[in-house]
Structure 1
C-alpha cells in the first residue's frame, strides 16, 4: 500500500482581474496541523479579504475538509478540494489567500481562480511517495551487532532503531522477513528468527 504527498511547503501566486490569489500548499498529518496552517496564513496575511482552504488526510484520503471563508458558497473550498483530489495527493492542505482587486469575478471566475492557484502550487511541489513497510526485530550478541548491521545496510535493509541490553535488538524495515532471517542466520551460523513488530510508512523515492 502506498500514497503520495509532498516533501515541503510551497507557494504559488496568480492574478485575475487585479485580484491576487496566493496558494500555500503544506504537508500535514492531522486536522490540527491543517487548521494551524490556515490560521498561520490568516495571521501573516491579515490584510487579505479571504483565506479559503481545503485539505485531504490519511493514506486513503478519507478525511476531506474545505472552507469558502466568506466567498459565495461552492466557489472556493470545493473547487480547491477537487484539484487536490485530482492530483492524487493526501496529507496536504491548500490555503488560498485572496487580495481583492476591485473587480467582481463572478462565480465562474472565482472557481477558475481558486482552482488555478492550487494547480500552480502543485506544479512547483516535489511529490513524495510513502509505502507501508513491515518492521522486524532481530536480537544478536553485542560482538556481532556491528557486522550484522553493516551486512544488512549493504543489502538495502533500513535499520531504524537499536536497543541495547544483554544483547542488541535491531529494528529493521523490510518486506521480506524470511530473507532477513536467512541472511542473519548465515552470518551467525545459527538460526535467527525475526519478530514482526508492526508497520511503518516510509519514503520510497
Structure 2
C-alpha cells in the first residue's frame, strides 16, 4: 500500500463523569519529539490537572507507538486511548487527555471508560486524509543526456518534483513506494534505448547517476 490514514488537523473532545472532566486534544504528529512537545503544551494549558495521559501511533507499520498513564493506575488511561486510535485506523496521531478531578474516585473501570470516551469524542471530530508513501529518485546527468532523459520522462508520464541545472542537470522524481523500483528500471531502459528486460540490478546508463531514497512524504 502506498498510503495510510492520518488526521488532517487537530481535534478535541470532552467527557464528564461524576464532576470529573476529561479533556482530549488530538494532534497530527510525525515523530516522537513532536508528540512529546504537544503533551508538554497540553500540560501548560491545563496546568491544574495532575494527569496528562496520552497515546500516539506513528508511520504506516504497527511498531511505532506509545501509551502513557501519567500516574493513573496501570492500563487505565494510555491503552484505552490507544485502543480508540487503532479502532479508528489512524496513524501519525497523538491524543492527550488531561483530567480535572471532581472529588469522587471513579475506580479502575470508570477511569478506563472516561479516557476511552474522551479519546473517542475527539476522534469523532477529526477530518481524515491520506499520507502518501513515496520514494525519491534523483537523476543526475550530463547535458548530452538531456533529450533522452526528458523523452523518457514524457514517455512514462512522469512529472518532475524538482530540477536543477549546474555543471550537471538534476531531476527529482517522487514515485509511489511500491512501484518505484520497476519504474526506475523502465526509466533506465527508455533512456538507454533498450528493452526493460535487459535492465538488471547492475545496469548503468553511461553519464547517468540514479539515487533512490525514501522521502516518507
TM bucket (normalised to shorter chain) is 0.7 to 0.9
Superposed CA RMSD in Å reads: 3.2
What corresponds to 1:132 in structure 2? 133
What corresponds to 2:33 in structure 1? 32
Runs of 4+ in structure 1 displaced over 3 angstroms? 138-142, 177-186, 191-194
Describe the shift of the 1:140–1:117 C-alpha distance in structure 2 as closer, same or farther (beyond 3 A): farther
What corresponds to 1:46 in structure 2? 47
Alignment of 1:79-90 (within 5 A): 79-90=80-91
* TM-score, normalised with respect to structure 1: 0.77
TM-fit CA distance, 1:30: 2.3
Q: Distance in 2 between matches of 1:184 and 1:11?
A: 52
* TM-score, normalised with respect to structure 2: 0.73
Match of 2:184 among 174, 177, 182: 177
What corresponds to 1:65 in structure 2? 66
SS of match in other structure, 2:67: strand
Q: Distance in 2 between matches of 1:165 and 1:50?
A: 56
What corresponds to 2:196 in structure 1? none
What corresponds to 1:21 in structure 2? 22
Deviations 1:157-194 (A, max 9, x none): 453322221343110112433565688899xxxx9978
SS of match in other structure, 2:133: strand
The answer to whether residue 112 in structure 2 is matched with residue 105 in structure 1 is no
SS of match in other structure, 1:201: coil
SS of match in other structure, 1:137: strand
Give ranges in structure 1 of 5+ residues lacking alignment.
none
Whether contact under 8 Å (1:34, 1:55) holds in the other structure is yes
Q: Distance in 1 between matches of 2:209 and 2:174?
A: 11
